[in-house]
Amino acid sequence: SQQGEEDPQALSIQEGENATMNCSYKTSINNLQWYRQNSGRGLVHLILIRSNEREKHSGRLRVTLDTSKKSSSLLITASRAADTASYFCATDAEKSGGSNYKLTFGKGTLLTVNP
Amino acid sequence: NAGVTQTPKFQVLKTGQSMTLQCAQDMNHNSMYWYRQDPGMGLRLIYYSASEGTTDKGEVPNGYNVSRLNKREFSLRLESAAPSQTSVYFCASILTFGNYGYTFGSGTRLTVV
């Protein structure tokens, strides 16, 4: 079963606009990660946020985590056509105070940035 | 530094045939994973190896077997391929869990006819 669920399933914006994607999950986590997948390629790790962190930045990416609501958001500012890709959240579910040593992925958000 | 290398990139099998998907990483990573990706389903974990010498089932292990040959290599075997195993298969590895993200291979696109 999917631990993370992204919303929306698809998002189309104009270059220069901001893009926000959301992820909801079901169980307690150690950390949550975001990945990008360009069409026909493997996934690329973008950012990891731990359960005791609320916000994290990396370049034009901003990730927030609300463990009380079991949700996260990924904000891409000043989007570019090259940001066109699918974005996935993945969770490291907590197990007996430790890790399951595996990530569970959501179904992804397809972001299209129009030039 | 090649990262995670998967072979082959494309394969067509007939129902009932067997094959092994190969995965190798040159980053001295401890844990390795096999996922499958189907349209609308995201990535689903087939098997993983948290450390050399161990393997565990993931969400969808039926019809597959794995071998952690050494620290570098983690292979996925389909003993008797079925059309339901048509998918894109990704291998991933990670140095230590909890501090880093996965490094993914470029995938194997498998069609079973």
Chains A & B: contacts with CB separation below 8 Å:
60
Could you identify the residue written with the tokens 């985590």? A65
Asked if B100 and A104 come within 8 Å (Cβ–Cβ), the reply is no
Q: Enumerate residues 6+ apart whose C-beta is below 8 A from B83.
A: B15, B112, B113
Lowest mean pLDDT among A10-19, A77-86, A92-101: A92-101
Q: Which of A4-13, A70-79, B24-33, B104-113 is the least confident region?
A: A4-13
Residue A2 has pLDDT above 60, yes or no: no
Helices (H) and strands (E) in chain A, counts: 0, 12
Question: Which residue reads 């075997």 in tokens?
Answer: B77
Contacts of A112 (CB under 8 A, 6+ apart): A10, A11, A12, A13, A84
Q: How confident is the model at residue A1 (pLDDT cuts 50, 70, 90)?
A: very low
- Please count the other Cβ atoms lying within 10 Å of the Cβ belonging to residue A75: 14
User: What residues of A are in contact with residue B44 (Cβ under 8 Å)?
Assistant: 105
Contact (CB, 8 A) for A7 and A111: no
With an 8 Å Cβ cutoff, the interface of chain B facing chain A consists of: 4, 31, 33, 35, 40-45, 48, 50, 58-59, 90, 92, 97-107
Among A5, A102, A104, the strongest candidate for a mutation testing the B interface, having the largest count of B CBs within 10 A, is A102
DSSP code at position A45: E
When computed from its CA atoms, the radius of gyration of chain B, rounded to whole angstroms, is: 13
Whether residue A95 lies within 8 A of chain B, CB to CB, comes out as no
Question: Over pLDDT 90: what percentage of chain A?
Answer: 82
Residue % of chain A over a pLDDT of 70: 94
Report residue A71's pLDDT band, with 50, 70 and 90 as the boundaries: very high
Question: Which residues 6+ apart lie within 8 Å of A71 measured at CB?
Answer: A22, A23, A24, A25, A65
Mean pLDDT of chain A: 92
Closest C-alpha to A9, from A79, A63, A87? A87
State the pairing for strand pair A19-25/A4-7. Answer: antiparallel
Q: What pLDDT was estimated at residue B99?
A: 81
Query: Which carries the bigger pLDDT value, residue A96 or residue B4?
Result: B4
Report how far Cα A99 is from the mean position of its chain's Cα atoms.
19
Q: How confident is the model at residue A13 (pLDDT cuts 50, 70, 90)?
A: very high
The series of mean pLDDT values per 10 residues for chain B, 113 residues long, is 91 98 96 94 93 93 96 97 97 88 96 97
